[in-house]
Structure 1
Amino acid sequence: MVKRMKSLATFGAGPFATGDSDVRFGHYDYDDVPRLLAIFYAEFDNDAGPIIRHQVPANFNLTRIFQPQSGLIIPKSQLICRSMKCSLKHENCRVLGYPVKLSHQGYRRQYYIFNMCFVVAWESVSDSMYEPIVQKCAEYLIELEQEFSFLSNRAYNAQCGKKTVCGLEAKRLVSVLHTNKLCESEIRIIAPELAKVEIKNEKENEKNEKAKEDSVAAERNEDYRKVGVSKAAKNLMMTLYFKLCPSYRGVEPPEVSIFMVPMFIRGIKLTSRVIDGMDVLSQKIIPQIDGIRTVKEIAFVLNLDPALVARCVRNLHFYECVSLVPMFLYSNTYVATERVHDFYMNQTEITDCMDFVKIQNPEQIEDDGEPPPVPQFSDVFRLYLSMKCGMTLAEWVRVEQPRSMGIDEHRLVQFGMHHQFLRKLTVYPICTVSTGGNKFLSSCNGKTSIEELSLEHNLDPQVLYQLLAESNKFEFVMK
């Protein structure tokens, strides 16, 4: 199962900006990786009926699994082109498949049915994570069959070794997929006449029957020649990419406040090709995400409804493209975390930090007319350690004067929050007078933060804090 964080993205650090998780940004923690046991390819043979044509590993006993369930693996028309799962508790496994039926007059029965299935261990409760890969394999096989008759033409079988399933490097899939790594699988397609494949030891009548099926390839090739497809396409290499991704089913996207700051977790090169593939709203919003602007500020720059921007950021956050950190306020208090020591040993993060925290505007100069100095790592590390409880950021800036070192305190804090070197202390108001049934006063009980109250009442957190402090009716706890 995939460990997901809290469904409400509150202010703080962490994958869901909760500030109470040890999981790094953009990383999932798998506590039950589905164990892949085998992959096999089944089809409906014109004479033998449902059979297994290829399987990996070869020594895996699929007979006890396939024979009782062959009617489900190669099903009737009502279940075609639908994800299927057979749970076989007595065999301690589950079979995931996506049966496909292709209709064409060149086939002996006017149709061709096949199913490429994954066998997953019974104890794997999150086996649905394999369903997109099973469907992806089926879609690729459909394309190969429609273009080259790669499945129905027996001449191609000689190209499929013992370690492959229909040309897919299934042995590599079995060993790599469940480790949560990217797996590449190559399919080499060589036209039978180019490979000089000879089919031996077959009876004459079998050759005649299969020749009728192989006529599908010739008929389709003629169709493709009419639309200008080159014969060179008969000899090609395809590389397929597979990765086991977490299942988001049943998990609601986190709520996003307009006072939160989105920061990219992954490096994104905003080329024209990438931008053209986005929806219109994302095309406008994504280039404005710089790790400094809040959702509300992005909406103001683009002259958009903040709710629309929050919806876009909500999706980006849910799919772990961006993290969410609290709005930068000089009234906030930040403290260093244990991860600041990991930062000291990570040269990649050090390089990124030096580039991010420097004063970005080259026109900014000091009082003596000189440009700001280049930040030094020793200064950055010391500044992170100097942030402590009981000192607001405004007080810290007056004492440390980071800009004299060429360091932008705004960027320094946001980088530390993003990488969890820093943690923001949250302020909780406690009402010291009788609430009198007032809903707002009752909610100020030391359990609801200033940020949550500001979100509920659509107020700036700093403004709300000042109003509560000036009323002399509240005490404040930071934790």
Structure 2
Amino acid sequence: MDVETQFKKTRIKNIRIDGPIRCIFFCEFHHTAGPIISCQDPENFISKELFDSISVYIITKAELQRSVITVTLQNYKILGFPIRIDDKDKYVRNAFHFNLCFVCDSDARTVQYESVVQKFSDYLVAREMESSFLSQGKVSTKLAPLLAQVKEELNTKGECALIEGATTTHLKVCRIRLDPSPVKDHQVPIFIKEISEQPWDLTTQQVTPYIDGFNHIAKIASLSDVQNNLVKACIQNLVYYGVVALVPLFQYGNVYCTTPKLKMMAQNLELQCKCLNYVTKSKRQLPTVRDVFRLYAAMTRGTTIRDLCIRFNPSNLRINERKLVQFGVLEGIIRRVHKYPVLLTDEPDELEKSLSGESSLDELCCSIGVASQQLEDQLERDHNVMLLWK
């Protein structure tokens, strides 16, 4: 595996699992006491008063049995999967009602735990059917270590194995990805992960050969002879699965500025190694960290990439300026400073109708099919148009 591929692999970030589990409790319908919490970890996390106020939503009626329920309170969000086991001979009231619940912060996302709660509940049903694990004896003594194990391992590792004799039940938190933002014509896709050998759909197979980190969506659609909206859907799908990231269109007239992450280039040896191998013009002779750092540090508002090339001559420093920008954007070391044209008059022509300040120069160039420098020169000669940088 070459260094560039290794860099792309390490760029994939784990999708954050929101909302650590604060508590797991097991509640049941007692034939004399009614709904009660029989066991919880940590102990007394959910008070009796709080549980009594919401028990009607936890120990539910038949219509909600075996359905994922979520109860949101001021401080907590409770996720459960109410269960009813019917057996006229075994239970006093002909059935055993229980609910195993996860408790998270009220503003946390809990959808990733839904399948875990259901599978854990089914595991307890199986043990109850086999040995009356829940309904006989002191349930808290038997369940307490189990709840503690599940909470600890799901919070730290995202998975847990429940071993019972020769049978093992695996609980694993599903990592839920957020839907990516809509893809725009002027955005540039770049692979950040090797595309797998799995049989992708025909559109993806037709589009991926033209993803090189520099072709924008509109150009890819033209080169691949695929409809623009289909290319956007394809790229959005690849972004969702962490195969592709979107970066701004590279042009020598672009302006970038550094972020606070620039200091990592001076401190992190691993990042330095990745950067040098990624931006070098030749694998046989790498540039120096000093030269790369100087180029990044010189990226300020008002300074174009063309200005930097004239000033530093990156080629003589063994640096590929296009890859330098690409690496900096992907790592968050630099960010693009966009130009937004704003019309100052009330009587626009056809072009000027787009000059509301909502569309960047890149978007306008792609939509009307002209070079960025040509459009910028035209707009700068128009005294009724102001360019905003942000």
- Could you state the TM-score of these two structures normalised by the residue count of structure 2? 0.74
* Contact 2:81–2:99 (Cα < 8 Å) also in 1: yes
1:443–1:87: structure 2 CA closer, same or farther, 3 Å change rule?
A: closer
Return the alpha-carbon distance in structure 1 between the equivalents of residues 170 and 312 of structure 2: 55
1:15-30 equivalences under 5 Å are: none
1:240–1:286: structure 2 CA closer, same or farther, 3 Å change rule?
A: farther
Return the alpha-carbon distance in structure 1 between the equivalents of residues 51 and 340 of structure 2: 61
1:62–1:446: structure 2 CA closer, same or farther, 3 Å change rule?
A: closer
Return the alpha-carbon distance in structure 1 between the equivalents of residues 250 and 237 of structure 2: 22
Q: Which residue of 1 aligns with 2:3?
A: none
Out of 67, 80, 104, the position equivalent to 1:97 is 80
1:397–1:105: structure 2 CA closer, same or farther, 3 Å change rule?
A: farther
SS at match of 1:451: helix
Deviation for aligned residue 1:260: 1.0
Q: Which residue of 2 aligns with 1:13?
A: none
1:102–1:302: structure 2 CA closer, same or farther, 3 Å change rule?
A: farther
Deviation for aligned residue 1:404: 3.0
Number of residues of Structure 1 aligned to a counterpart in Structure 2? 374
Q: Which residue of 2 aligns with 1:169?
A: 149
1:321-470 equivalences under 5 Å are: 322-359=244-281, 373-429=285-341, 436-438=347-349, 440-441=351-352, 443-444=354-355, 449-454=360-365, 457=368, 461-468=372-379
Out of 162, 187, 200, the position equivalent to 2:162 is 187
Q: Which amino acid aligns with 2:338?
A: T
Q: Which amino acid aligns with 2:290?
A: S
1:341–1:461: structure 2 CA closer, same or farther, 3 Å change rule?
A: same
* Contact 2:203–2:226 (Cα < 8 Å) also in 1: no
Return the alpha-carbon distance in structure 2 between the equivalents of residues 72 and 409 of structure 1: 60
Return the alpha-carbon distance in structure 2 between the equivalents of residues 447 and 68 of structure 1: 50
* Contact 1:169–1:186 (Cα < 8 Å) also in 2: no
Deviation for aligned residue 1:138: 0.8
Deviation for aligned residue 1:135: 3.6
Deviation for aligned residue 1:67: 4.6
1:329–1:114: structure 2 CA closer, same or farther, 3 Å change rule?
A: same
SS at match of 1:119: strand
Return the alpha-carbon distance in structure 1 between the equivalents of residues 196 and 241 of structure 2: 21
Q: Which residue of 2 aligns with 1:228?
A: none
How big is each residue's C-alpha offset from its partner over 1:313-372, in whole Å with a ceiling of 9 and x where there is no partner? Answer: 335557877543210012223344443222221222222212221237x8xxxxxxxxx7
1:164–1:415: structure 2 CA closer, same or farther, 3 Å change rule?
A: same
1:311 aligns with 2:233: yes
1:80 aligns with 2:65: yes
Return the alpha-carbon distance in structure 2 between the equivalents of residues 153 and 52 of structure 1: 23
Deviation for aligned residue 1:187: 0.9
| Cα RMSD after superposing both structures | 4.5
1:136-175 equivalences under 5 Å are: 136-142=116-122, 144=123, 149-154=126-131, 160=142, 162-165=144-147, 169-172=149-152
1:308–1:163: structure 2 CA closer, same or farther, 3 Å change rule?
A: same
Q: Which residue of 2 aligns with 1:255?
A: 182
SS at match of 2:79: strand
* Contact 1:263–1:418 (Cα < 8 Å) also in 2: no
1:76–1:357: structure 2 CA closer, same or farther, 3 Å change rule?
A: same
Residue segments in structure 1 that go unaligned for 5+ positions in a row: 1-23, 191-234, 363-371
* Contact 2:189–2:217 (Cα < 8 Å) also in 1: yes
What is the percent sequence identity of the aligned residues?
26
Deviation for aligned residue 1:40: 1.5
How big is each residue's C-alpha offset from its partner over 1:262-321, in whole Å with a ceiling of 9 and x where there is no partner? Answer: 345xx645444xx35x66655665686553332334444544223222234335557877
* Contact 2:79–2:114 (Cα < 8 Å) also in 1: yes
Deviation for aligned residue 1:98: 2.2
Deviation for aligned residue 1:131: 3.6
Return the alpha-carbon distance in structure 2 between the equivalents of residues 64 and 114 of structure 1: 19
Q: Which residue of 2 aligns with 1:117?
A: 101
Return the alpha-carbon distance in structure 1 between the equivalents of residues 22 and 368 of structure 2: 54
Out of 158, 166, 172, the position equivalent to 1:241 is 172
